[in-house]
Structure 1
Amino acid sequence: MFTFIALLVLGTLPKPILRVQPDSVVARQTNVTFMCEGITGTKEYNISKDDGNYTQFIQFLQKSQNTAEFSISKIEEHHAGQYHCCYKTHDGKSECSDSMELVVTGAYNKPSLSVQPSPIITEGGNATLLCDSGQKCHRLILTMEGPQKRSWMLDPQYNNSIKHFQALFSVGPITSRQRWTFRCHSFHRNRTQVWSEPSDILELVVSGTLPKPIIKAEPGTVIAYKSSVTIWCQGRLDAQLYVLHKQGSPKLWGTESTEEFGEKAKFFIPSVTKEHVGQYQCYCYTSAGWSEHSDTLEIVVTGFLPSKPRLSALSGPVATSGGSMTLQCVSEHRYDTFIVTKEHEKFSSSLDSQYIHTNGHFQATFSMSPVTPAYRAKFRCNGYYKHIPKLWSVSSDPLEIQISGLSKKPSLLTHHGSILDPGKYLTLQCCSDMDYSRFFLHKLGEAHFIQKNGQRTRAGLSLANFTLGSRNSSTGGQYRCYGAHNLSSEWSASSDPLDIRVTGQLPFTPVLSVKPKSTVHPGQNVTFLCWSTYPTDTFILHKEGKNHLLKQLKSKFQDRRFQAELSIIGVTSALSGKYRCYSSLESSPYLLSHGSAPVEITVSEQTKASSLPPFKPMGASSLPPLKPMEASSLPPFKPGQTAGLESYLKVLVGVSAAFPLFLFILIFLLLRRRQQGKVRKQAQKETELQLPAGAAEPVARSNLDATTQEEIICEKKRVPGMERCFDGEHKA
């Protein structure tokens, strides 16, 4: 009877509840606390573990409590097993609690957990998870983390190709209203509470209906090989979690909480390699579920391929607004494709490369139009192969493109001439009557500019002087300048080009000669001949001085030398001056040889003897009447002039002897022309006309009939550039 009453009392006490913190599955060396909850008035609690080695923990309470705690510091494998607890009161001992299983992990190497094909799951779909262990095991277990704990256990299959034990777990249906977080372990059948280390956590993401977050990369999406990049994902203020996914990857690339950055999360990659290239999307999770995926962010790695291409603008790095721009990417190394990108912006243009047989290079030409202010940026180009399109070569040097507007072009001047000897400093001046606050100087073929602030002169001009340093081979080239206002990002139109050539850069000197001679008369022809025994592509004929002449002549191989001729027909006085000849090569047109010995051309303004009219005898009527010589017209006689007087007398005697004969000829002519009395008066007037120096040849009047003489009643007078006829009263 006593035993029956005791059992009856024992059965009336409620069963206690046994719990464990932090979890029933813990890693080795973790501190674990068991909590046994009974009823008020309990004086004694005990916890026992049922296995081959019986373990019991007893706690005696000084005060009545309904809960007792038992702690084990640094859990080890032997602590794993089934636990239950009981309590005692004045009325007797309670039933034991339900058994609680304590699992200790870390006994074996961790397996890996992945999802096929992607951790991004469609709403309501199922997911297939693969647990893979490299160590021999008898069970693989998949556990679901979070408030809704679940587990799946499978016997593994041995994969002989990779010598691993694997199991495929199918879970679902997956919804967007909760988190789906998993781990997997391995264990042996004779030690079911001792597991391996847990796999890395695997989170499944369901693209929901909440607004998509914003994704961006710093410093950009084109990242140098082995440099760092930060990917930011910004979503809602109430976001609890952000995840980053790389498309095609069997797992998420990152999971971050919002504790540190609030409404955004930071995903940092310290060293970008080929495994990081690809397209990324991010998601955020709130208490309402998952968001839509963000826009796609593509990460590209440069510098993976070592050969560096070159980028240039064919018409120079300044493009006219509304016009066109042509960029050329060139490499000595073969690439399948070239791509041009704009710094800090999502812009790219790619073209297949072409092989150029003349120089053995690979290149692609990019034409862009119409040019807008958005093209004012730095551009780079890279090469890559089609089978690895996100792994690019080393980037070219940056090419900065400027946009020129329609404002008035400035002038570019030099006070030294366009052909310069080496050694001295060169200064170029850019000036304009526009009030430009800045000026830019650019040399053709270079990617950078020289900038100077504008200065205002008293004459109302704005200008800037650019001193380029000592003249040498690097100074030669074609220059342009531009003006700009402080408040505008556009430049002016380009100045006219200015070619600067430097002499003494080729190790030979050409020869200059002139035909027929260096002294010529106006209207004659002159031929300049430049020649050299050294191979050359071009000869440059240069006239020194203010009104200089610069003529480029194509070289031809003839008579065992390289030569070129320049013929000038009908020279004028402007041709006078000192000339030299220089040589240049096609590959470096602004680098010249030494100058030839100077040849000076003189255009003489003297009247040629052949321009005087030929002498013809004149009729008697053409002579002026003779006047008797007066004694007063003779110079006074002075002593010592005897020899001079004798010479004078001899001349006088000779004239006196010739005079009767000359008079007879005149009388004879007068008799013959007696019948021409009608025109005698006009003929007499004609004898009074005098022929000016350099006049045209007079017409022989004696050989003309009366009618012809009436028609030709005036002398022709030559006027420079034209011929006119005058008769004393009107112009004929």
Structure 2
Amino acid sequence: MTFTFTALLCLGALPKPVLTVHPDSVVYKQTTVTFFCEVPTGAKAYRLYKVENQKLKHIEFLQNPKDKAEFSISKIDQKHAGQYRCQYRINDGWLSEYSDSLELVVTGTLHKPTIKAEPGSVVTYKSAVTIWCEGTLDAEICVLHKEGSQNPLDTQTPEKPEKKAKFSIPSVTQQHGGQYRCYCYSSAGWSERSDTLEIVVTGLSKKPSLLSHQGQILDPGKSLTLQCCSDISYDRFALYKLGGADFTQNGDQWTQSGLSLANFTLGPVSRSTGGQYRCYGAHNLSSEWSASSDPLDILITGQLPFSPSLSVKPNSTVHPGDNVTLLCQSLYKVDTFILSKEGAAQQPQRLKSMFQVQEFQAEFSMSAVTSALSGTYRCYGSQDSFPYLLTQASVPVELTVTGEVTLNSQDDLQSKP
């Protein structure tokens, strides 16, 4: 359709319009898309253009008295991909500036790439993160796109032979939080979009605490609830597992004695439950998450088919002030030994093993013991390849600290039988 102007056209005297597209600027082939050209005041006519060979090609003309014009394209394919602009006029003699260009990407010719964040998708404020997009072997470029953005954020050439494109953010801010996808291009066309990667930015308020009422070492099948709590009145809490893809929100939440709390039920536990967890808090009207809680390790027993042994030197019954060593040993390969005290609130102790006299071992030394160290101890082993999966438990050992403690004239600690 053509239009003959009856007066001299004055280009650019009007404010430029805003061009957007629905459902997104990156769409799968055969999708129907709608361009919207919007102006602050009423317009008499609108035009949509596509950039081809560095020239504006007139696509469609609409006479529409409204503030927003709609241009629809059904069942798009690769020929529709490219840059678009729009323009409007309010009478026969006045044309607006062109809108900013909008890039339409049509995907689906190649298989979708994979996307991941390093060191992880939960990122502390002002720290660095790298987003990797791994495409197919013949990918020439890969593009990073953030949900809600009309245009791609960045374009990179994949590194060979890994086929990975690297997108670096040296100092993240709250504006970097959100959902990301990537897609790649070759001479055959555009790939499908990758799965969604959500970047969560944390660290802008006081950290909560994370604890497990069932302890940190659990047998398979046991129930497990992790509790996140804070003396800050957070409205939302989230739980994150190191290396995981999910940022779990909306635990069972309540307020008690000036504390805000949330429970996250993970049981019954299995191999996949083992790992390091952190939790975060936020207010309802804010997208800003708190600093991370201290990490909490959840260890799953019985995942290596043997048990270490545990012994006490010099004796399992000692006096206050004595020195005691708990010795963990294994004939099978163990990289780390873990010593656990039944009912203890603190985290289990860890020591790297040493290979001596045809076996792996570690010595857990306790100097100047007190009655608080009395109790039942067990030893476990793990291997570096799966640090949260443990052996079966050793036979338990009972440590008994007996006697009273008094001060002599030199203010030394002594024990009385």
Alignment partner of 1:208: what SS?
A: strand
Q: Check 1:585–1:248 CA distance in 2 against 1; reply closer, same or farther (3 A cut).
A: farther
Give the C-alpha shift of residue 481 in structure 1: 2.0
Cα pair 1:516 1:527 within 8 Å, conserved: no
Cα-to-partner distance string for 1:110-131 (whole Å, 9 max, x where unaligned): xxxxxxxxxxxxxxxxxxxxxx
Q: Check 1:243–1:347 CA distance in 2 against 1; reply closer, same or farther (3 A cut).
A: closer
Match of 1:328 among 109, 128, 131: 131
Give 5+ residue unaligned stretches, structure 2. Answer: none
Task: Tell me which residue corresponds to 2:220.
Answer: 422
Amino acid at match of 1:441: L
Q: Check 1:221–1:515 CA distance in 2 against 1; reply closer, same or farther (3 A cut).
A: same
Amino acid at match of 2:208: P
The count of corresponding residues between Structure 1 and Structure 2 is 405
Q: Does 2:42 match 1:244?
A: no
Amino acid at match of 2:104: I
Amino acid at match of 1:377: G
Give the C-alpha shift of residue 279 in structure 1: 1.2
Amino acid at match of 1:274: Q
Match of 2:109 among 280, 283, 304: 304
Give the C-alpha shift of residue 419 in structure 1: 0.8
Task: Tell me which residue corresponds to 2:362.
Answer: 565
Cα pair 2:10 2:93 within 8 Å, conserved: no
Quote the Cα distance in structure 2 between the aligned partners of 1:550 and 1:300: 53
Q: Check 1:530–1:432 CA distance in 2 against 1; reply closer, same or farther (3 A cut).
A: same
Task: Tell me which residue corresponds to 1:721.
Answer: 412
Cα-to-partner distance string for 1:310-333 (whole Å, 9 max, x where unaligned): 32352552533xx22414325385
TM normalised by structure 1 equals 0.49
Let me know the Cα RMSD of the aligned residues.
3.8
Quote the Cα distance in structure 1 between the aligned partners of 2:32 and 2:331: 60
Q: Check 1:451–1:289 CA distance in 2 against 1; reply closer, same or farther (3 A cut).
A: same
Quote the Cα distance in structure 2 between the aligned partners of 1:282 and 1:404: 42
Q: Check 1:384–1:215 CA distance in 2 against 1; reply closer, same or farther (3 A cut).
A: same
Task: Tell me which residue corresponds to 2:381.
Answer: 583
Amino acid at match of 1:566: E
Amino acid at match of 2:72: F
Task: Tell me which residue corresponds to 1:173.
Answer: none
Q: Does 2:166 match 1:364?
A: yes
Cα-to-partner distance string for 1:663-688 (whole Å, 9 max, x where unaligned): xxxxxxxxxxxxxxxxxxxxxxxxxx
Q: Equivalent residues in 2 for 1:121-520 (5 A)?
A: 208-211=11-14, 212-234=16-38, 237-240=42-45, 242-248=47-53, 252=57, 254-259=59-64, 262-284=66-88, 286-288=91-93, 290-312=95-117, 314=119, 316-320=121-125, 323-329=126-132, 331=134, 333-334=136-137, 335=139, 337-345=141-149, 346=151, 348-354=153-159, 362=164, 364=166, 366-371=168-173, 373-385=174-186, 391-406=190-205, 408-444=206-242, 445-452=244-251, 454-457=253-256, 459-515=257-313, 517-520=315-318
Cα-to-partner distance string for 1:140-174 (whole Å, 9 max, x where unaligned): xxxx9888xxxxxxxxxxxxxxxxxxxxxxxxxxx
Cα pair 1:553 1:565 within 8 Å, conserved: yes
Give the C-alpha shift of residue 238 in structure 1: 4.6
Q: Equivalent residues in 2 for 1:92-107 (5 A)?
A: none
Cα-to-partner distance string for 1:335-372 (whole Å, 9 max, x where unaligned): 5555432211246134444569xxx784635224251x
Alignment partner of 1:462: what SS?
A: strand
Give the C-alpha shift of residue 569 in structure 1: 5.9
Quote the Cα distance in structure 2 between the aligned partners of 1:585 and 1:269: 57
Alignment partner of 1:275: what SS?
A: helix
Cα pair 2:128 2:169 within 8 Å, conserved: yes
Amino acid at match of 1:231: F
Quote the Cα distance in structure 2 between the aligned partners of 1:145 and 1:465: 65
Give the C-alpha shift of residue 417 in structure 1: 0.9
Give the C-alpha shift of residue 597 in structure 1: 1.9
Cα pair 2:19 2:35 within 8 Å, conserved: yes
Alignment partner of 2:175: what SS?
A: helix
Larger Rg: 1
Quote the Cα distance in structure 2 between the aligned partners of 1:403 and 1:524: 44
Cα pair 1:438 1:453 within 8 Å, conserved: no
Amino acid at match of 1:414: S
Quote the Cα distance in structure 2 between the aligned partners of 1:526 and 1:243: 80
Quote the Cα distance in structure 2 between the aligned partners of 1:367 and 1:570: 48
Quote the Cα distance in structure 1 between the aligned partners of 2:50 and 2:218: 63
Task: Tell me which residue corresponds to 1:529.
Answer: 328
Greater relative contact order: 1 or 2 (C-alpha under 8 angstroms, separation 6 or more)? 2
Give 5+ residue unaligned stretches, structure 1. Answer: 1-143, 148-175, 180-205, 608-693, 695-716, 724-732
Cα pair 2:207 2:293 within 8 Å, conserved: yes
Cα pair 2:113 2:182 within 8 Å, conserved: no
Cα pair 1:510 1:596 within 8 Å, conserved: yes
